[in-house]
Structures are given as C-alpha cells and as structure tokens.
Amino acid sequence: MKNSLAALLVGFIFALGLGISGMTQPQKVVRFLDIFGNWDPSLMFVMAGAIVVHLVTYRLIRKRSSPLISAHWHVPTKKEITPALVVGSLLFGVGWGLAGFCPGPAMTSLASFELKPFVFVLSMLMGMLLFRLVDKKIQFKK
C-alpha cells in the first residue's frame, strides 16, 4: 500500500509538471523539434531543469544503501549499443516528431478527453503488443 501511494503521488507530480511545462501540447513539442522552421526553444529549459535536478539528486540519493520504498536499487546494467536499441530510439524519435507525444505526456493528455491522445496511446499499446508477438517468434526460432 505504501508503494502504491508513493507511486500515485510521484505520478501526479510528474503529470502536473508535464502539464505546466507544456509537454502535453503536441504543437509545442513539434515546434521545439522544428529547429529550421518556427522553432520554440522553451522546452529546452524544461529539459535542462530536469537534467540539473537529476544530476544533483541522483548523486545524493545513490549514497543510500537502498531506496526508501524498495529493498534494492533498480539501475540498468546493460551498456552495449545494440541494433534493437538504435532502431527503437529512431522509432521513438520519429513518433515523437510526427505525433508530438511521447508516452508520459500522452498518458497525461488522456485527462483532456481529446481524441489525439487516445489514438496515440492506443497505437502505442498496439505497437507494444506487436513487438511482444514478433519478439517471442524471433526468440522461439533461436
């Protein structure tokens, strides 16, 4: 129960930050990515602020023996750059540029009850399902 409440609180704060910063507005995100056209650099300050907060707090938090609400740290250990990582990153970037959404802001935008976030999230979930099916087939053949 403690973990669920903490996750709910953190998710709410994250969603609030996405909304206040404008990252839930696809047209603002597309203008940020349009560096040779009608460029809007305002999201650069949002990202820079997030990076600074992360750089400071990550070092402080990692000095603890374990997180507050878990028995151990869940830190990625893989460091190699694989074709799947490169292709996935490219797909993410193209999708972000075309739709103006990435997963977090899209989920937050569902609260607007507009059609575009619902179409994006449904498409994202279908893509995840398709990947699982294809990945299982590939793993089965190995």
- Residues 90-120 pLDDT 10s: 988 888 888 889 898 999 999 999 999 999 9
- DSSP states of 86-120 as a string? HHHHHHHHHHHHHHS--HHHHHHHGGGT-HHHHHH
What is the pLDDT of the chain when averaged over all its residues? 88
pLDDT recorded at residue 13: 92
Q: Is the pLDDT of residue 142 over 60?
A: no
Instruction: Read off the pTM.
Output: 0.73
Structural tokens at position 31? 């203008």
- Residues 24-61 pLDDT 10s: 999 998 998 888 999 999 989 988 999 999 999 999 99
Domain ranges of the chain: 2-141
pLDDT recorded at residue 129: 93
Residues 6+ positions from 48 with CB-CB distance below 8 Å: none
> Strand, helix or coil at 12?
helix
What is the arithmetic mean of pLDDT over 126-141? 82
